[in-house]
Structure 1
Amino acid sequence: MPIYTKRLRVLLVVLALGLVTACNIPTSPETPEPGGVVDAPTEKATAQPTAESTDPSTDPEPSEPVASSGAVSRLEDVKLASIQIEAQGTFVDPEVGLQMNTAGRGSGFIIDPSGIAVTNNHVVTGAAFLKVWVGGESTPRNAKILGVSECSDLAVIDIDGEGYPYLGWYQREIKTGLEVYAAGFPLGDPEYTLTRGIVSKERASGESDWASVDYVIEHDARINPGNSGGPLVTQDGQVVGVNYAGNQAGQSFAIDRREAQQVIEQLRQGNDVTSIGVNGQAVSDGGSLSGVWVASVKSGSPADRTGIKAGDIIIHMEGLSLATDGTMADYCDILRSRHSTDVISVTVLRFDSDEMLEGQINGRELEQSFSFAQQFEENVQPSEPDNGGNVGGGTTTYSQYQGVTDDTGAIYMEVPTEWREVRGDLFTDNEGNVLGASITAAPDLDEFDQWYDVPGVLFIASRQLVAGFDEDDLLDLLMIDDVCSSYEGRYDYEDPLYTGKYDLYIGCGADGAAIIQVAAVPADRDFIMLVSIQALTEADLEAADRIFDTFFVMGDLP
């Protein structure tokens, strides 16, 4: 009996006998919003500097010398120690894509007359170089980065020169109702701005999609893109916190000086804190794909030495799926629980090449994860021109792939363009009850459904099946050792999104096809999937690698 006809017939018979119910299967809850932020923060809409570049056009009044007693002590003098920072470099934005030679601007403030200044990590990390304007000057100064903290979203830089005005820290208790002022250079404007408000909440949640701070100050002094890294000060010019986020609801957020000071002291000594050297942002498709998007990488950092590049998504760290709640919390908890020199395993999705890579921070470099093509190439025919039409156009490999979905848009994978016949019907039982979504793709669906002489793939995903089957149960039910010359065994399956089991059969049918059957589930076991691939050549196994790199549930299953 042909393989696909047999496996589906057996499965549907089992379903008809009532071993699996299709009723009252709960759907997964919606992905929670990042804690403490109602809307996506306008201050940090992306993981790179957000304000547009604008050249200063006017000179400020001459800077007043710092009094021998120390920091500036008047609100009107805060400008003298406030800075505008331009970070120039190449970044990869998750929405816009590659941005070459981009200049973005943020703010900061000087904390020492030697030119030591504070800003946000997301303003400077990954930049090729920095330009700094002090107090609204028309001529920029050079600066170098001393240390950064991804999770605290803080950075310390050293501006060329000496004898700068500087700000001191507010030493009293920060209470609701305290009058505060947000200083900086928003929207890339060289003109210094100051907005007034009060502390509206002493301890707001600091979880966001680009940082993970235990708590932050919520205030209503208006901040805009470009205020990142600027000071939140009292009427005496003392620093209460470091501004880092705002939203359309008019809420603004600053990193509390109690959190900031202890991190800044380490950064100014040249040490990075809770950082692997990326400018990152938590991303999620609302389904099974989530991780930390890398906008840029600091040269020479642990991430750089591992081989992580801008545009990568760090999906797993120490085996844990990252950013499933849309925040950096899990990522930062892992970093905070380890020393900066500890070895940390990572799994990375590289969109440029559609590769899943595995490696270690402070350990081995990234390399492609398990490959069916490399592991089982001896079990199929070599890819040769005109080999039974299995590789389109008489070539030895598939040169182009296309993304395909089922009819409901719930599941997705990429297949060779030569597998031009695609079916995305609902997956139903013999009585027509909907059990899930399915995609079948092959050069000829009729041949693929009935025989073994063409390659192809069947992908099924179901919430209903998971109620009655685990991965072993499903593979046991669909065993085809009676139609293949050899059953090679059952093995563990794992990719950055799913885990499960797979069976390998060789010598199937007159053409000796190899059959790979994978049963897999996500971490929450909300659904179960079957991916069954029929391969005749090495090129077909390479196609199998592409399918297993790209298949996922991207929407609500029927």
Structure 2
Amino acid sequence: MKGLRLFALIASFILIVSLACSFGNVSTPQPDSPSESPVATPEKQSGSGGISNLDNVKNAVVQIEAVGTFIDPQFGLVVNGAGRGSGFIIDPSGIAVTNNHVVTGAATLKVWIDGEQRSARVLGASECADLAVIKIDGADFQYLNWYDGQISTGMEVFSAGFPLGEPQFTLTKGIISKEKADGQTDWSSIDYVLSHDATINPGNSGGPLISSDGQVVGVNYRSRPDFNQYFAIDPKTSQSIVAELQDGKDVQSIGINGVAVVAEDGSLSGIWVSSVKSGSAADKAGVKAGDILYQMEGLVLATDGTMKDYCDILRSHNSSDTLSLTVIRYATYEILEGQLNGRTLEATGYFGDASTGSTGSSGSTGGSASGQEYFTEEFDSDPQWNYFLTSGDEEKVSVTFDDSLMIFNLDALSIYAYYIYEAFDYRDVRIDLRAENRGKNNNNISLVCRASDAEGWYEFSTEGGGLWYLYAVVPGSDGRLRYNTIDSGGVKALRQGKETNEFTMICNSNEITLGVNGVEIKKVKENKFSLRDGFVGFNISSLNVTPIVVEVDWFQVSEP
């Protein structure tokens, strides 16, 4: 999908599934419908030890309250917000397991064991596995053992925890309904998880899924109550990660509490950062709550609405590796680029109504195309090139020629109008265009090289809000065009608003050089798509506002 429509994103986040954690006011809420009645439990055993029966599970299950300041993608800044989840003790020293989304970014942690309040601290967390290990003050605790038998469909299980932020311990009963359910969500990325129907509610996050003999079958972390589906991380996955977290290591983490977000029309995606762990790689790079992690190592994140791409990158690297990062900071209208474990983030461009700095110019010469290989077209009249749309309603497009200008008037959203010169095939070529925005931001102006029906084309796309993209636009197996992002970033040299700008694209062998107003913004080596040769031209697009009015002054084709 072409273009970055930030305002559409902010207005229309898609949160794919609900977390099973209770945030906000921790006073007792009233559920919309009653959950299953709590299972009666006997008095606590004396002494410590591994629990081996269902009756005494409550002695090792804890309620956790995390307090901190975070920025929610739907509700904005939440100061000193409190959220409650569950957890369970796995060692008599007070080592307990819970979910990452329950504790990461919290300023303080409180834990209740059988009604008694204690302090706790985080030892380690995994963003991708949504697991965390905490150490509870004290010792000689009762604890749960991991289930080491065969987990199969139909197995009886019980969800233990403290749903809805209430202080009463609750058990609900169900069965394993699927042994390998999809574990990709908008806040974690696990290959497979357990699906069951032992009801969990907000506040159950991090609590154990228990066998009939009181052993841990999984860690509850996700719910789809409308479908009576609930999900837990299986013991094998949990134990391997918990072992590292218990040693004080973070696993598959950069130190954020984040959620994948995607615009309703799919035009923008990324990882929304709700909070940042102090001293983490994200914190040292300059990531802040409210940022959107847009790209990592050149890969656009969360295009499918999940954390999978983000987590695949972390799984493919060591925690100390240097990784490139592009961030959108909505609070200051900045686009920032930097590195994890390297350069701190710096503003490279702006979007929206923010002003930009650098300017520049390039010259043009007179003339007309008239079948020439190299020329400057000044649009004294219609040169009769190939005109087409790849998206939008043609009846909402007006193209006129007046006073040596080619004037595009787009009166609907998501129109991509192309004008292609097909008299020559070019491999190595430089193309320049000067155009003036006479309508609203946010328009989109693109240059195109090596265009062919069979292979597609390269497209250098610049939005009026200050973002640029280099695409390989290629036909898919179904014949539909796919806009594949090769690179992107921000451009300070762009004059925003009702201004005139000049755009440059040089396609030379496997290298593509991009420029705005005489300022080179990026030189990209492209070996993935390797488009060979083809036509040149340009594109004017509407994004999320209308009307779009763009006056093209001239288009120039020259040797690189």
The aligned counterpart of 2:460 is 501
Matches within 5 A, 1:55-94: 63-67=44-48, 70-94=49-73
Counterparts in 2 of 1:515-534, with a 5 A limit? 521=471, 526=482
C-alpha distance in 2 between matches for 1:276 and 1:528: 27
Query: 1:185 maps to what in 2?
Result: 162
TM-score normalised to structure 2 length:
0.64
What one-letter code is carried by the residue in structure 1 that aligns with 2:101?
Answer: H
Correspondence list, 1:43-62, <5 A = 43-44=19-20, 50=23, 52-54=25-27
What is the letter of the counterpart of residue 269 of structure 2?
S
Residue aligned with 1:369, SS:
strand
2:341 corresponds to 1:365: no
| 1:272 corresponding residue in structure 2 | 250
Change (3 A) 1:459 1:315: farther
SS in 1 for 2:121: strand
CA contact (8 A) 2:324 2:339 kept: yes
- Aligned-residue offset at 1:472: 10
How far 1:173 sits from its partner (Å)? 1.1
Q: State the alpha-carbon separation in 1 of the partners of residues 547 and 312 from structure 2.
A: 32
CA distance in 2, matches of 1:297, 1:344: 17
Say which SS state the counterpart of residue 465 (structure 1) adopts.
strand
| Matched residue, 2:18 | 42
- For residues 439 and 190 of structure 1, do their structure 2 counterparts lie closer, same or farther at Cα, with a shift above 3 Å needed? farther
State the distance in 1 between where 2:231 and 2:255 align. Answer: 24
Amino acid at match of 1:162: A
Q: 1:369 to 1:519 in 2, by over 3 A?
A: closer
Q: Is the 8 A contact 1:54 1:190 kept in 2?
A: no
Residues 535, 123 of structure 1: alpha-carbon distance in 2 compared, 3 angstrom cutoff: closer
Higher helix share: 1
Relative distance call for 1:439 and 1:133 in structure 2 (3 A) is: farther
Q: 2:261 aligns with which of 269, 278, 283?
A: 283
Do the aligned partners of 2:17 and 2:186 also contact (CA within 8 Å) in 1?
Answer: no
Q: Which whole-Å deviations, capped at 9, do the CAs of 1:317-358 have from their partners, x for residues lacking one? A: 100011001110000000000000000111001110111110
SS of residue in 2 equivalent to 1:103 = strand
User: What letter corresponds to residue 268 of structure 1 in structure 2?
Assistant: Q
Distance (Å, rounded) in 1 between the aligned partners of 2:427 and 2:415 = 16
SS of equivalent to 1:140: strand
Cα distance in 1, alignment partners of residues 394 and 211 from structure 2 = 61
Cα offsets for 1:249-270 (capped at 9, x unmatched): 1100000011000000000100
Instruction: Judge conservation of contact 2:68–2:105 (CA < 8 Å) in 1.
Output: yes
| Aligned equivalents of 2:398, 2:323: Cα separation in 1 | 37
Contact 2:88 2:98 in 1 (8 A): yes
Deviation of the 1:76 alpha carbon:
1.3
The 1-side partners of 2:345 and 2:395 are apart by 36
Q: Give the match for residue 252 of structure 1.
A: 230
Give 3-state SS (helix, strand or coil) of 1:335's partner.
helix
Give, as a single letter, the amino acid of the residue that structure 2 aligns with 1:282: A
Q: Deviations over 1:217-250 (max 9, x none)?
A: 0000000111000000011110000000011211
| Match for residue 142 of structure 1 among 112, 115, 119 | 119
The alpha-carbon deviation at position 520 of structure 1 amounts to: 5.8
Question: Structure 1's 154 and 523: CA in aligned 2 closer, same or farther, altered over 3 A?
Answer: farther
Task: For structure 1, list consecutive stretches of 5 or more residues without a partner in the other structure.
Answer: 1-37, 380-427, 441-445, 481-489, 494-498, 504-515
Q: Higher strand fraction: Structure 1 or Structure 2?
A: 2
**What do residues 413-436 of structure 1 show as CA deviations (whole Å, max 9, x unaligned)?**
xxxxxxxxxxxxxxx989xx9449
* C-alpha distance in 2 between matches for 1:126 and 1:471: 53
Residue 221 of structure 1 is aligned with which of 177, 198, 206?
198
2:555 corresponding residue in structure 1: none
Aligned to 1:320: 299
> 3-state SS of the aligned residue for 2:342?
coil
Question: Is the 1:461–1:557 Cα contact (8 Å) retained in structure 2?
Answer: no
Q: Deviations over 1:64-113 (max 9, x none)?
A: 3345xx31111111101000000100111111111111001000000001
Contact 1:113 1:163 in 2 (8 A): yes
2:159 alignment partner, SS class: strand
- Kindly tell me the number of residue pairs found equivalent between the two proteins: 416
Match of 2:383 in 1: none
Are the aligned partners of 1:462 and 1:528 in contact in 2 as well (CA < 8 Å)? no
CA contact (8 A) 2:259 2:271 kept: yes
Match of 1:294 among 262, 273, 278: 273
The equivalent of 1:384 in structure 2 is none
TM superposition shift of 1:369: 1.6
Distance 1:471 1:349 in 2: 36
| Pairwise CA RMSD | 4.6
What is the identity, as a one-letter code, of the residue corresponding to 2:229?
Q
Q: Distance in 1 between matches of 2:547 and 2:426?
A: 19
Pairwise CA distance, 1:41: 2.9
Q: CA offsets, 1:457-492, max 9 Å, x none? A: 999964563999999999949568xxxxxxxxx999
The Cα shift of 1:54 comes to: 2.9
Could you tell me the percent identity over the aligned residues?
Answer: 47
The equivalent residue for 1:509 is none
User: C-alpha displacement at 1:40, in angstroms?
Assistant: 3.8
Give the aligned residue type for 1:202: E
The residue type equivalent to 1:501 in the other structure is F
1:287 shift after superposition? 2.1
* Contact kept? 2:155, 2:175, Cα under 8 Å: yes
AA in 1 matched with 2:166: D
Structure 1-normalised TM-score?
0.65
Q: CA–CA distance in 2 between the matches of 1:320 and 1:270? A: 29
CA shift digits 1:89-138 (9 cap, x unpaired): 01111111111110010000000011000000000001111011013x1x
Structure 2 CA distance for partners of 1:207 and 1:177, relative to 1, 3 Å: same
Matching residue of 1:171: 148
Return the offset for 1:170.
0.4
Alignment CA distance shift 1:552-1:290 (3 Å): farther
2:26 match: secondary structure: coil
| Deviates most, 247-256 or 471-480 | 471-480
- Deviation of the 1:528 alpha carbon: 11
- Evaluate the alpha carbon distance shift between residue 317 and residue 492 of structure 1 in structure 2; reply closer, same or farther with a 3 A threshold: farther
Write the deviation string for residues 497-542 of structure 1: whole angstroms up to 9, x where unpaired. Answer: xx94379xxxxxxxxxxxx99896487764699x9x995999988x
Task: Give the letter for the 2:19 counterpart.
Answer: E
8 Å CA contact 1:182–1:230 kept in 2: the answer is yes
